[in-house]
Chain A
């Protein structure tokens, strides 16, 4: 079974631009969570989607948004990029929502975003 895939793997943008990242979960998984990973803050939760509905949202500004499609693929968008948005963005999928404790989250390799 293929793992979680994220595209693109690397991205360079300039301040003020917007970016869209994509995540394809493991086949059959309906829950997708997004995380931002930086050296200073570690792994921080962005949001979680399950069956096309946002279930949880972390403490990030409204410039960060996401959505999930009927095939469970998910995208996240960051508008008006700032230098501080440079990070590794990780996507994780699971069969059921992350709070249910009955399933493991599987992470993708991440998208490395650099904002210049």
Chain B
């Protein structure tokens, strides 16, 4: 499959454990944030998003936390499964006509 990132930080977790992937964003004016998952050989896939007027949002098995004070975003995956193994990217955007800016990504490796 595609080699998405040879030099990415890697998080290894045991199957069934919870995973926490962190992201520091750079622009204090950013007001919209998205997490994407990229599996080998595929394009990024939307997981969950959050706007700056919220500090927490939950989806199916995933939770995104936003701390605007320290410009930090995290993705929590509950009961991590082998299918969760992928590279995870956070992306930020400002209001208006501005494109998404992606972080470098974190590789999640699930140990069965």
To the question of whether A and B form a pair in one complex, the answer is: yes
Question: How many of chain B's residues touch chain A, expressed as a range?
Answer: 20 to 34
Query: CB distance A43 to B96 under 8 Å?
Result: no
Interface of B is mostly: loop
8 Å CB contact of A56 from B7, B43, B99? B99
Name the distance in Å between A75's Cβ and chain B's nearest Cβ: 17
Stretch at the interface among A12-20, A34-42, A61-69: A34-42
Tell me whether B98 is interfacial, beta carbon within 8 Å: yes
Q: Answer yes or no: B5 CB below 8 A from chain A CBs.
A: yes
How many chain A residues touch the partner (CB < 8 A)? Answer: 29
In the assembled complex, A110 has its CB within 8 A of some CB on chain B? yes
- Asked if A112 and B45 make an inter-chain contact with CB atoms under 8 angstroms apart, the answer reads no
Partner of B7, one of A33, A39, A88, A108: A39
Give complex CA distance A33, B42 in Å: 16
A-facing residues in B1-55 (Cβ within 8 Å): 2-7, 32, 36, 41-46, 49, 51
Q: Which partner residue on chain B sits nearest A9 by CB separation? A: B41
B46 near A99: Cβ-Cβ < 8 Å = no
Would you give the 0/1 interface string for B87-102, flagging 1 where the beta carbon is closer than 8 Å to chain A? 0010101011111111
The answer to whether A90 has its CB under 8 Å from any CB of chain B is yes
20 contacts between A and B (CB under 8 A): A39-B3, A39-B4, A39-B5, A40-B7, A42-B5, A43-B91, A43-B102, A45-B101, A48-B99, A55-B97, A90-B43, A98-B99, A99-B98, A105-B46, A107-B45, A108-B43, A109-B41, A109-B42, A109-B43, A110-B2
Question: A interface vs B, CB < 8 Å?
Answer: 4, 33, 35, 37, 39-40, 42-45, 48, 55-56, 58, 88, 90, 92, 97-99, 101, 104-110, 112
